Each structure stands twice: as structure tokens, then as C-alpha cells.
């Protein structure tokens, strides 16, 4: 008998035939069927046990994911009018279903009964953890509320979901609505050849002659870093940092101001209705951190450790800029430009000088070689799988010749694709109804500038670390050894620990031994010259204090916005940000800067009152990497221990327990501060 095509074996979405318009009706039917099946499951009160309850729920979730998942994914990577309309129609249905499920008292009591039964002690660690997390999540979803409160909770969640979608849509529309056309390159002095080629391609795509600047990050970064005309940098800075706001060239057109205010208010109500003082405490209830005040102390300790260095970084930059342009104070749109010039002056190193050695195909091959040496896994491309764009690839991850997972790779920026980089689940590892193991499948998405002509895409070193970062998330999902879907991969992992595997993998972008594997000139294959390599490593911590201060600004703003909210006297979102900047920022933003209106992580993503997770997990990742520094960065025993203790464990145990299992102790910030060349902060 001929074997099934891979796409059928894995039950992958057929993106070539997906009918977005007809999805809502199918979803209605599926949600009704799920609720009916759950009612039947919990109706068998005397016979409910783990085997009769959890696998059946996993099948329901997986079936729903197969229906909704492709549309949700396309909303991020191919947001056409029909996809957006279908998504907007389906999202309220999914939100209502999730709320109804989270408040299903019979289902909750079935899990409570299971946790109190004699059977519970016989369950595996993963199964016990899943049951415990389910009970916790039922409580957070308001299962104990009275009927009127449950209705109110459901309405609040519905409004929050709709507002987050509108925030994301506004940001995408505002980003795509702005462009600036140049008939020739005279006004683009300083821009490197790669950026000029991208601008030419952008113009061609819009049937224009010359050059077109857009607000995708690659173009924005190139202009801010290299454009000699200060007026152009200011114009681009203003357009980018006022997107979806009341300010700037599109002021009021896609304005997220009221959406942010409403979201913070709704989140506070949700937190209070289920018994928390504020949304920050509600958010931290599912994380490693003990409390919101404990998170604030962690951030302020880091701030006290890094601010002197950040101020020194800024003073040095101002002194250098004064030498170049006279005594005018540095504006926000000058910082990247003069920072690059100072870096070149101090280290004789230009970011553009490195890009020919970081061609995407070579970096991608190097990434696969690096994880092979760490874990022993092999990554190979697959054919015959439907994708949503011709540039998207599909790959298998195998260990000792046996497939353990698969992933889609969507790496280039384009219209109707939201900015940033992310990993999402396509399929979870779990056993199906027929007893067959379903392997995990991931979506891995970046927004690099596409290749031009015969030349491959050339990455900055920052983009190299982005690629490694997202692949680290993907490995966390695909390398799981856990068969309980709810705690396999990234599921059930505390949000402030979920960045550990991704941030950990970034470290191999800075090691001479690993860089030698892929830093090669795209035309000659000559390795990165030793002199350039040493300059790059020497410049690693250039302005590290300023960068950390910026991350602390974002984290404290997010935390305090949700922790200190007073419904009777709500503080304006801008006022919260201004106060945080006054406390920790060393780069002064202009009064019309509206960064928050594009802060999708906390207003349209999963990081509300949790953006601190990046810094928290960076502490964990630096500490874990210190063991590799001691043992050898490609020590196979250490890689095997990492897979066994952390990468493969998902959410099957508490994140702190997993960390201690690997490191033999609790975490400290020492390694992070050493890696950044800083001193003076205390531990978690």
C-alpha cells in the first residue's frame, strides 16, 4: 500500500483551497458539537476518570485547532480583506466558547474530583501537572462566579478580544498607509546599497520609478542608522513612532488611543471580578514571579544596576555627536545614526560591513548545524506541502533518523503581513483517538528584507539573533518529550519562563566556534575575517546599558499601567509612560512620540502585564548558558541534559523546578550582568 502524502499524514492545512468565507458556519457547528460532547463527558459522574476525560478533551481541542488555526495564522501573515472579515466574524464565537468552557462548573468539578481521587496518585507527573493547571485556570476564568458575574465576565472578554484585534489591524493599516517616494537616490545619501535595492524593489511593486521608503522595520532601521539627511531621519522617525495614533502624518486616521484606554479598564474589571486587586496580579498568577510588586522590585534592581552605565553610554554618544555636528542636543532620530558612527569610530566596524557574511541561506544552514551539534537533531526540507506564499518552506526535525516535529519557515516581509517575528503552534504533540502519536508542527515567522535579483537576503547580526531566537521557540515546541497536549511544548509553561529556550539559543550567535560555522561571504564563501570577528565580539556590549534601560522602560510601563490602575481616577496611558521615562530612560522622546500606540506585544499579544518576561527569562537563559561556557558550548552531554531537563519538558513541571534540575541551584543575575558587561544588580 502506498504511503499517504506527508501533508495528509500530518493533517496539515491545505492553504491552497482554504475558504475563509465559509469558515464561520463550520465553526458554529464545531463549537456546538464540542459543547455537546463535553456535556456528555461530564454527565457520566460515576465513571469520569483521566482516561475517559482528558484524551477526549484533547481531541476536541485538536479538531477545533485544525479548523480555526489556519485562519488565525493567515490573519497574521496574509491579512487580505476576506481573511480579516472571516477572522472578525469568528473571533467573538471563539471567545464566547472559551469563556463558556472556562466557566463550566461540571467540567471543573470533574477535574477537582479527579485531583482528589485515588487514581490521581497513579497518574504521571505530566498528567498531574495538567490537572492542577486546569483547576487553576478554571478559577482564573471565573468558574466560581454567580450567573450575573459570569455574563459580565464573558462580555468583558469579548470586548477585550475585539479591541485587541482592532489594535492590531490599525497598526498594520497605519504601517502600510505611509510611504515616501524618491525619483532618484540623491535624497537617500548614506543608505547602503542593500537598502537602496530594497527601496527600488518597493517602488517597482507599486509601479513607480525610483525609490520607495516604507515603514517595515528593515527599511526604517536602515534610514535611522545610515541616512545622512537629518530631515529624512526625523520624518521617518515621526511616521514610525506615531503610527496608529493622534499624532504624526496620519494623526487620527487609525488611532489606537481609546482602544488602549478601554483595554486597560476592561482588564482591570476582569481581574477584580475574579478576586484580584489589579490585572498585574491576575497576570502574574500564572507566572514564575511571586507577585507584581516582586516583579517591580526585580526591574528596579536591574535599573539601579544598569542606569549609571546607560547614562555613561548616552554622555559618550552626545560628546561624539557634538564633535560631529556641533553643540546641538541629540534628538531621538539622531541616536541610531550617531551610535553607528561611534561604533565605527571606536571599533572600526560597520553593521553593513558584516552583512555580506550573513546571507540568509548560509545563516539558516548554520543554524541547523548549530542545533545539530547541541542536540544531535537534523533539519531537512520537505516537498509537496501547501503553503500560503511561494517563499514559505516546510522542514522536518529528526533525531537519530526518526521525525520528532515539523515547521513552516516564513522569513520575508511583505504587504498584508504583520511586523515582527514569532512562533505559533500548528499541531501539538499528543496521542490521537486511534492511539497514533501526532507530532508537533510549528509556524516560524520573521520579517527580513527579501532577496533582490540574484543576491540572497543579507542579514544584520541583530537579525541573525532574531532568527536563532524564533527557532529556539520552535525547538521548545517541536522537541517536547511530553505526550499530554496541555503541558507539551510551550503549553503550560509560565510566561516569564517561555522565553528561556529562545533567548538561550541567541548566545550561539556570539561564540567564535559557532560563528565560524556560518559567517561566510555569500559570494566567495571566505570565512568572516579574524579581524572583523574580533571587532564584532569587542563591540558586543556597545551601549548595553542604553539597550537594557530601554527594555526596562517598556517593562515598567507595561507593569505599572496594569498594576496601578485606579478606575475612579484613571491615569492616562501617556502619563504612565512619561513617568517611567522620567525615572529610567536616558533617551528623551519628543512629546509627540506615541510608541505605545504600536506596542502590539501588550495590546494585541500575550504580554499584557508580562512584558517583563523577556528580561526575567534573559536572566534564566544567561545563567543556563553559563553552564555551556563551563562545559563547552557544543558539549553533547550538556545538550542532552538541557533537552532532558528543560527543552523537552514543556509545562510538565514548574519552571523553577526544571531550572534547578538543570543547574543544581536557583538562578542569579550574575551571568546576565557579566554577559552585558554590567555590574550591580541583585537576583530574582
Integer Cα distance of 431 and 455 in angstroms: 44
Spell out a b/e string for 507-516, using b for 16 or more CB atoms within 10 Å of the CB, else e. Answer: bbbbbeebbe
DSSP per-residue codes, 192-239: -HHHHHHHHHHHHHTT-SSEEEE-SHHHHHHHHHH---HHHHHHHHHH
**Domains (range + CATH), the chain:** 12-144 (1.20.1050.40), 178-241 (no CATH), 257-349+543-611 (1.10.1370.10), 356-538 (1.10.1370.40)
CA-closest candidate to residue 464, choices 509, 510, 412: 509
Integer Cα distance of 400 and 376 in angstroms: 8
Confidence class for position 680, pLDDT limits 50, 70, 90? low
Confidence class for position 681, pLDDT limits 50, 70, 90? low
Q: With contact defined as beta carbons under 8 Å apart, do 256 and 603 qualify?
A: yes
pLDDT over 70 (residue 588): yes
Give mean pLDDT, residues 77-84.
Answer: 95
Q: With contact defined as beta carbons under 8 Å apart, do 136 and 63 qualify?
A: no
Integer Cα distance of 28 and 39 in angstroms: 17
Span 357-398, pLDDT tens digits: 999 999 999 999 999 999 999 999 999 999 999 999 999 999
- The conformational region for residue 181 under phi > 0 = left, psi -120 to 50 = alpha, else beta, is beta
Which positions ≥6 away from 321 have C-beta within 8 Å?
Answer: 330, 334, 338
Q: With contact defined as beta carbons under 8 Å apart, do 219 and 188 qualify?
A: no
Map residue 284 onto helix, strand or coil.
Answer: helix
- Asked about 499 being catalytic, the answer comes back as no
Give the HSE-up count for residue 378: Cα atoms under 13 Å, Cβ half-sphere: 9
Give the HSE-up count for residue 637: Cα atoms under 13 Å, Cβ half-sphere: 4
- What is the largest distance, in Å, between two alpha-carbon atoms of the chain? 82
Integer Cα distance of 137 and 316 in angstroms: 49
The per-residue pLDDT for 523 is 95
Which positions ≥6 away from 61 have C-beta within 8 Å?
Answer: 485
Task: Indicate the pairing of strand 422-427 with strand 430-431.
Answer: unpaired
Give bridge partners of residue 212 from the DSSP assignment: 181
Confidence class for position 326, pLDDT limits 50, 70, 90? confident
CB atoms within 10 A of CB 269: 18
- pLDDT higher for 589 or 350? 589
> Using H for helix, E for strand and C for coil, what is the string for 292-361?
HHHHHHHHHHHHHHHHHHHHHHHHHHHHHHHHHHCCCCCCHHHHHHHHHHHHHHHHCCCHHHHHHHEEHH
Please, what is the end-to-end C-alpha distance for the chain in angstroms? 58
Integer Cα distance of 558 and 644 in angstroms: 34
Entry pTM: 0.94
Which of 425, 470, 506, 553 does the annotation list as catalytic? 470
Instruction: Work out the percent of the chain whose per-residue pLDDT is above 70.
Output: 98
pLDDT over 90 (residue 577): yes
Give bridge partners of residue 379 from the DSSP assignment: 397
Integer Cα distance of 277 and 299 in angstroms: 21
Q: What angle do CA 278, 284, 289 make, to 5 degrees?
A: 135
DSSP per-residue codes, 583-619: HH-SSPPPTT--GGGG-HHHHTSS-TTTTTHHHHHHH
Cell of 439: 507530532
CB atoms within 10 A of CB 147: 8
The per-residue pLDDT for 44 is 73
Span 646-672, pLDDT tens digits: 999 999 999 999 999 999 999 999 999
The per-residue pLDDT for 435 is 85
Residue carrying C-alpha cell 487580505: 80
Long-range contacts of 146-154 (CB under 8 A, 24+ apart): 149/273, 150/103, 152/269, 152/273, 153/99, 153/103, 153/270, 153/273, 153/274, 154/96, 154/99, 154/100, 154/103
Map residue 370 onto helix, strand or coil.
Answer: helix
Integer Cα distance of 337 and 321 in angstroms: 10
The per-residue pLDDT for 47 is 73
- pLDDT higher for 679 or 335? 335
Spell out a b/e string for 419-456, using b for 16 or more CB atoms within 10 Å of the CB, else e. Answer: bebebbbbbbbbeeeeeeebbbbbbbbbbbbbbbeeeb
Burial class (CB in 10 A: 0-12, 13-18, 19+), 567: exposed
Q: With contact defined as beta carbons under 8 Å apart, do 279 and 565 qualify?
A: yes
pLDDT over 80 (residue 619): yes
Q: With contact defined as beta carbons under 8 Å apart, do 156 and 266 qualify?
A: yes
Give the HSE-up count for residue 464: Cα atoms under 13 Å, Cβ half-sphere: 29
Span 30-51, pLDDT tens digits: 999 999 999 999 987 667 899 9
The per-residue pLDDT for 532 is 95
Q: What angle do CA 661, 665, 671 make, to 5 degrees?
A: 110
Amino acid at each position: 500500500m502506498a504511503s499517504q502524502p506527508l501533508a495528509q499524514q500530518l493533517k496539515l492545512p491545505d492553504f491552497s483551497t482554504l475558504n475563509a468565507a465559509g469558515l464561520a458556519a463550520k465553526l458554529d457547528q464545531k463549537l456546538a458539537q464540542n459543547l455537546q460532547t463535553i456535556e456528555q463527558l461530564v454527565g457520566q459522574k460515576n465513571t469520569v476518570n483521566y482516561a475517559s476525560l482528558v484524551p477526549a478533551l484533547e481531541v476536541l481541542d485538536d479538531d477545533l485547532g485544525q479548523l480555526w488555526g489556519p485562519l488565525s495564522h493567515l490573519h497574521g501573515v496574509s491579512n487580505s480583506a476576506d481573511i480579516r472579515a472571516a477572522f472578525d466574524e469568528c473571533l467573538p464565537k471563539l471567545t464566547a466558547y472559551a469563556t463558556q468552557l472556562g466557566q463550566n462548573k461540571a467540567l471543573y468539578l470533574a477535574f477537582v474530583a479527579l485531583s482528589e481521587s485515588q487514581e490521581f496518585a497513579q497518574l504521571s507527573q505530566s498528567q498531574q501537572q495538567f490537572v492542577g493547571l486546569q483547576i487553576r485556570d478554571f478559577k482564573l476564568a471565573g468558574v466560581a462566579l454567580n450567573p450575573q458575574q459570569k455574563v459580565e465576565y464573558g462580555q468583558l472578554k469579548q470586548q477585550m478580544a475585539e479591541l485587541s484585534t482592532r489594535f492590531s489591524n490599525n497598526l498594520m493599516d497605519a504601517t502600510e498607509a505611509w510611504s515616501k517616494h524618491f525619483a532618484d537616490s540623491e535624497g537617500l545619501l548614506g543608505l547602503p546599497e542593500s537598502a537602496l535595492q530594497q527601496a527600488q524593489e518597493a517602488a517597482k511593486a507599486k509601479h513607480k520609478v525610483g525609490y520607495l521608503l516604507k515603514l517595515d522595520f528593515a527599511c526604517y532601521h536602515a534610514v535611522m542608522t545610515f541616512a545622512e539627511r537629518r530631515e529624512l531621519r526625523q520624518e521617518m522617525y515621526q511616521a514610525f513612532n506615531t503610527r496608529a495614533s493622534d499624532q504624526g502624518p496620519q494623526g487620527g486616521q487609525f488611532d489606537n488611543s481609546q482602544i488602549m484606554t478601554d483595554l486597560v479598564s476592561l482588564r482591570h474589571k476582569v481581574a477584580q471580578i475574579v478576586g484580584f486587586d489589579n490585572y498585574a496580579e491576575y497576570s502574574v498568577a500564572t507566572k514564575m514571579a511571586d507577585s507584581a510588586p516582586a516583579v517591580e522590585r526585580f526591574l528596579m534592581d536591574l535599573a539601579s544596576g544598569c542606569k549609571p552605565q546607560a547614562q555613561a553610554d548616552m554622555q559618550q554618544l552626545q560628546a561624539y555627536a557634538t564633535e560631529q555636528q556641533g553643540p546641538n542636543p541629540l534628538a531621538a532620530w539622531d541616536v541610531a545614526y550617531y551610535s553607528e558612527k561611534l561604533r565605527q569610530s571606536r571599533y572600526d566596524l560597520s553593521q553593513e560591513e558584516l552583512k555580506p557574511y550573513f546571507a540568509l541561506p548560509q545563516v539558516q544552514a548554520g543554524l541547523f548545524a548549530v542545533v545539530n551539534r547541541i542536540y544531535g537533531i537534523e533539519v531537512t526540507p520537505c516537498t509537496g506541502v501547501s503553503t500560503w506564499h511561494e517563499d514559505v518552506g516546510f522542514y522536518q526535525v529528526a533525531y537519530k533518523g526518526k521525525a520528532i516535529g515539523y515547521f513552516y519557515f516564513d522569513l520575508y516581509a511583505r504587504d498584508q503581513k504583520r511586523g515582527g517575528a514569532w512562533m505559533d503552534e500548528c499541531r501539538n504533540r499528543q496521542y490521537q483517538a486511534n492511539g497514533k502519536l501526532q507530532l508537533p508542527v510549528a509556524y516560524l515567522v520573521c520579517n527580513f528584507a527579501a532577496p533582490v535579483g540574484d543576491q540572497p537576503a543579507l542579514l544584520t547580526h541583530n537579525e541573525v539573533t532574531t532568527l536563532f531566537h524564533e527557532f529556539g521557540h520552535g525547538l521548545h515546541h517541536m522537541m517536547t518529550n511530553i505526550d499530554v497536549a496541555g503541558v507539551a511544548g510551550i503549553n503550560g509553561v509560565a510566561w516569564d519562563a517561555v522565553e528561556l529556550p529562545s533567548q538561550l539559543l541567541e548566545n550561539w550567535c556570539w561564540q567564535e566556534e559557532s560563528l565560524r560555522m556560518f559567517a561566510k561571504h555569500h559570494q566567495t564563501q571566505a570565512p568572516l575575517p579574524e579581524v572583523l570577528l574580533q571587532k564584532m565580539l569587542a563591540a558586543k556590549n556597545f551601549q548595553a546599558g542604553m539597550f537594557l534601560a530601554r527594555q526596562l522602560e517598556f517593562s515598567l510601563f507595561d507593569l505599572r499601567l496594569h498594576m496601578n490602575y485606579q478606575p475612579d481616577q484613571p491615569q492616562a496611558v501617556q502619563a504612565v509612560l512619561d513617568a517611567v521615562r522620567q525615572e529610567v530612560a536616558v533617551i528623551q522622546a519628543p512629546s509627540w512620540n506615541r510608541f505605545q500606540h504600536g506596542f502590539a506585544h501588550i495590546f494585541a499579544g500575550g504580554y499584557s502585564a508580562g512584558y517583563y518576561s523577556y528580561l526575567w527569562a534573559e536572566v534564566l537563559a544567561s545563567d543556563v548558558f553559563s553552564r555551556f561556557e563551563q562545559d563547552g558550548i557544543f558539549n553533547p552531554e550538556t545538550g542532552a541534559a538541557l533537552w532532558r531537563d528543560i527543552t523537552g519538558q514543556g509545562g510538565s513541571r514548574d519552571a523553577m523546578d526544571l531550572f534547578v534540575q538543570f543547574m543544581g541551584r536557583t538562578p542569579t543575575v550574575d551571568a546576565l550582568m557579566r554577559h552585558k558587561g554590567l555590574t550591580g544588580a541583585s537576583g530574582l
